[in-house]
Amino acid sequence: MAQEPIAVDETLIEAVVRTFYARIRKDYMLGPIFEEHIHDWEPHLQNMFAFWSSVMLHTNRYNGRPMPKHVVLPIDAAHFDHWLEIFKNTVEELCVRVDAELFMKKATQIAHSLELGLAFNNKVLLQPGERYIRNKDHAL
């Protein structure tokens, strides 16, 4: 029988965020980048609850600016793909399918816009469908 959708709420968002960042912190590729920038994790997690609450529930609880925080990081398409893979595994484990799909749709859109901004900040104007890959034909 098909799974029934359940409404996303703050409790589910908190579980997704806590599980996701626990995995990120242990990840070989992304863990060191986060640990270098985040020294006190609880405020970051609280900020991420507010962010996902605003994205998924339109609560306006988040009023930060993610772009400047990301354009300075040593990341490219491979990091975004890996971030999305860990996020996908997390939401597929914790949410019913429709909710997992909605989380993924939003995460994929935001990751894409962060990648465009990151490329632009590194003087690369990505064409539609093009990915930002460092050390290929783009300068670091």
Q: Which residues bind ligand HEM (CB under 6 A)?
A: 30, 33-34, 37-38, 47, 51, 64, 66, 69-70, 73, 75, 79-80, 83, 107, 110-111, 114
Give the rounded distance of the alpha carbon of 11 from its chain centre: 19
**Rounded distance, CA 106 to CA 25, Å?**
22
Closest C-alpha to 24, from 45, 8, 52, 47: 45
**Rounded distance, CA 76 to CA 122, Å?**
11
Give the rounded distance of the alpha carbon of 131 from its chain centre: 17
Would you say 2 or 28 has its CB closer to ligand HEM? 28
Would you say 81 or 93 has its CB closer to ligand HEM? 81
Would you say 1 or 65 has its CB closer to ligand HEM? 65
Per DSSP, what are the bridge partners of residue 138?
A: 134
Rounded to the nearest whole angstrom, what is the least distance from the CB of residue 7 to ligand HEM in the complex? 21
- Grouping H, G, I as helix, E, B as strand and the rest as coil, residue 134 is strand
With CB atoms as reference, the residue minimizing the distance to ligand HEM is 64
Rounded to the nearest whole angstrom, what is the least distance from the CB of residue 54 to ligand HEM in the complex? 9
112 labelled as ligand-binding? Answer: yes
**Rounded distance, CA 73 to CA 38, Å?**
13
Would you say 1 or 52 has its CB closer to ligand HEM? 52
Residues placed in the known binding site: 44, 112
